[in-house]
Structure 1
């Protein structure tokens, strides 16, 4: 059951959270394609209705402008339009009542939600009130070993619903055993019309930058996908990149048992290394080459501007760790022409 919002239920659990920075007022270019507009730490180390506000792995924008933020501890938060204030917190569970290792999120046209769990992995469909409505079939090779060839904690990290509502795309965080280690698969599910059941369809190969994994994906509205790539090195910090990829015209590899290094992959256009963004006055609690960075894991498109620009919201996962921050970021992305 969704918890009702109350004015005083969102509470900071530390003095730093109470006095931490809100949105910045000036942005700056990270690259010719990406401009960082603002960041906010207002959600960091707070609670709402007794639940930790953090561990965020995915975002989705609702039609009313509010934002859904998915915690990998099996809780779905509703945030206000500013993404600074929780309005509701809804626990999620599988059909047997067990919590999920929830990683990716999509809101369908009928307000139902598709949520991945990377344990099996799975994609479940939930009603707005949190009831499980069904589960999508997952191809055998994508399941975690020994059932399939996927690695634990390297499965369905991203999810996107393409324009028209007929194609659902997931992104694997890491490669399958037997595939070239530099390649990950983007499996898809299709349906003949919105509301009909999804069935497994094409799979596409994607090559992230060396050493990075795919953390999330978001539809651009024209068939392409924004891809969030991420890694962490102790003592150095996070590397976070935004790239653009296009599955259209790419070979379907679902029938290929082992992907070789020369597999045809989706075209990729680098957009920005977020380490090159202006700091905007941010501070970090652990070594970072740019103090603006943290463990950025979720992404959603919140709006569209002129000349092909996208308004993008990102969020970091603090893992309930004192050295990490729950931070939201607002960026403007200019898409190159196709």
Structure 2
């Protein structure tokens, strides 16, 4: 999302959060140099959104968080050789757990993590200077940037979505090649000609009608993407299932109380920021960046991927904003593959930069609130567990928004790629942080 300096909010009352202990992460000289490169001059282009004060939350357990910091291209042609993917190739092959399948009195204590650092920054790669392929489609003259979501297709092939609201060019997604280095980092990237996102009639979206934020690839090779809409203009958020060529095939049926209106629905610039697939691709999970106008907690909504109908919904409690931050928001969700999820929260601290945390989330005994227009504070929220900080020096990671899995590290640890949205600003960059995780 494109962030503007918001009103300073009252910090929400946090859900109980369990912070996992970790050893000291050791960085190679190369990784340390790259990590230092992420320090940017403070630019208030990406403050997290204001959130409403929350009632004392009810939670069924603890919360896992990882803490950060104290071009012309074109073509509306289909993605090259998009395969019919098996579940292991997806970013989100996990199973959706049964919220009722917990032990009486709450969930069991999570298994302690394996010995060694839970999270370690391997390197940071700047997409500036990447090889760019040109095309002749509707987005031929559009600048590369605004990458707010990313997903792995297979091997070293990914797709990223730009949050351009069809203003600098048509709404679009970019095929990306991100080779892995011998040390487990990210090598020189190739940016492919963009896939133009179009409506059911094959027409590019009109200026200002969509705000793309996250993207996932289904097992069949289709593209599932979310849009924040525009609450101020009365435009509802959306989840769209499109073919590999970007043409819409299905618009999801969103709950009526999500639609913007006086005193209800999404808040402007705080809507469908996070999206992932789970249950072998049969379920899509959408996480709002902030609470609805009538709520004090975010909503995590589960949809049937094939039909686009909502199946369940849960309350998600944001952690309090960092000291001095202009609010806080959830920017992405990613299925782990064992019935749990990772979520990314971030906020902007004037004069310092972005601060972010990563959490392990379980549905546990969370209350299904689908069909409830208003949350009253008595619902049981999802469980969040804070993962430790992988960045030992408190660098500014920039405007972190996208997450996907990469090939495992040479030592067997999982690879998490975290990308940043440069907002088409000269003071920000499009970065790929490579993080080794031991979950």
Equivalence for 2:158:
67
Determine the C-alpha separation between the residues in 2 that align with 1:179 and 1:189: 21
Equivalence for 1:40:
125
Q: What is the deviation of 1:310? A: 2.3
Determine the C-alpha separation between the residues in 2 that align with 1:138 and 1:147: 18
Determine the C-alpha separation between the residues in 1 that align with 2:220 and 2:347: 35
Cα contact 2:263–2:294 (8 A) shared by 1 = no
- Equivalences for residues 141-290 of structure 1 within 5 A: 141-146=257-262, 148-180=264-296, 183-190=297-304, 196-211=306-321, 212-273=328-389, 277-278=391-392, 290=395
CA spacing shift, 1:87–1:170, aligned 2, 3 Å? same
The number of residues matched between the two structures is 295
Cα contact 1:35–1:331 (8 A) shared by 2 = yes
Determine the C-alpha separation between the residues in 2 that align with 1:125 and 1:219: 18
User: Helix, strand or coil for the counterpart of 1:141?
Assistant: helix
Equivalence for 1:92:
197
| Counterpart selection for 1:315 from 406, 416, 419 | 419
Determine the C-alpha separation between the residues in 1 that align with 2:363 and 2:250: 27
- Give CA deviations for 1:43-72 in whole Å, capped at 9, x if unaligned: 369865343221111000002430101110
Cα contact 1:46–1:53 (8 A) shared by 2 = no
- Give CA deviations for 1:253-308 in whole Å, capped at 9, x if unaligned: 1133322334311111101345xx046xxxxxxxxx514x1001111012346998
User: Helix, strand or coil for the counterpart of 2:280?
Assistant: coil
Equivalence for 1:15:
none
User: Helix, strand or coil for the counterpart of 1:231?
Assistant: strand
Determine the C-alpha separation between the residues in 2 that align with 1:58 and 1:321: 17
Determine the C-alpha separation between the residues in 1 that align with 2:378 and 2:412: 32
- TM-score normalised to structure 1 length: 0.79
Cα contact 2:240–2:251 (8 A) shared by 1 = yes
Cα contact 1:68–1:79 (8 A) shared by 2 = yes
Equivalence for 1:81:
178
Structure 1: stretches of 5+ with no match in the other structure = 1-22, 280-288
Determine the C-alpha separation between the residues in 1 that align with 2:131 and 2:162: 14
Determine the C-alpha separation between the residues in 2 that align with 1:315 and 1:46: 18
State the structure with bigger RCO (CA 8 A, min sep 6), 1 or 2.
Answer: 2
Q: What is the deviation of 1:32? A: 3.7
* Dislocated runs of 4+, deviation >4 Å: 27-31, 44-48, 304-308
Q: CA RMSD of the aligned region, Å?
A: 2.7
| Counterpart selection for 1:53 from 144, 148, 171 | 144
Cα contact 2:250–2:308 (8 A) shared by 1 = no
- Give CA deviations for 1:46-104 in whole Å, capped at 9, x if unaligned: 86534322111100000243010111012200111337220231121334532531001
Structure 2: stretches of 5+ with no match in the other structure = 1-27, 36-65, 68-115, 135-140, 165-170, 180-185, 230-235, 322-327
Q: What is the deviation of 1:147? A: 9.8
Instruction: Identify the range of structure 1 (89-98 vs 163-172) with the bigger mean alpha-carbon deviation.
Output: 89-98
Cα contact 1:54–1:318 (8 A) shared by 2 = yes
User: Helix, strand or coil for the counterpart of 2:380?
Assistant: coil
The answer on 1:124 being equivalent to 2:240 is yes
Determine the C-alpha separation between the residues in 1 that align with 2:403 and 2:421: 12
**Which protein has the larger Cα radius of gyration, Structure 1 or Structure 2?**
2
Cα contact 1:44–1:53 (8 A) shared by 2 = no
Q: What is the deviation of 1:234? A: 2.1
Equivalence for 2:85:
none
Determine the C-alpha separation between the residues in 1 that align with 2:411 and 2:383: 22
Instruction: Identify the range of structure 1 (204-213 vs 144-153) with the bigger mean alpha-carbon deviation.
Output: 144-153
- TM-score normalised to structure 2 length: 0.62
Cα contact 2:404–2:417 (8 A) shared by 1 = yes
Instruction: Identify the range of structure 1 (256-265 vs 197-206) with the bigger mean alpha-carbon deviation.
Output: 256-265
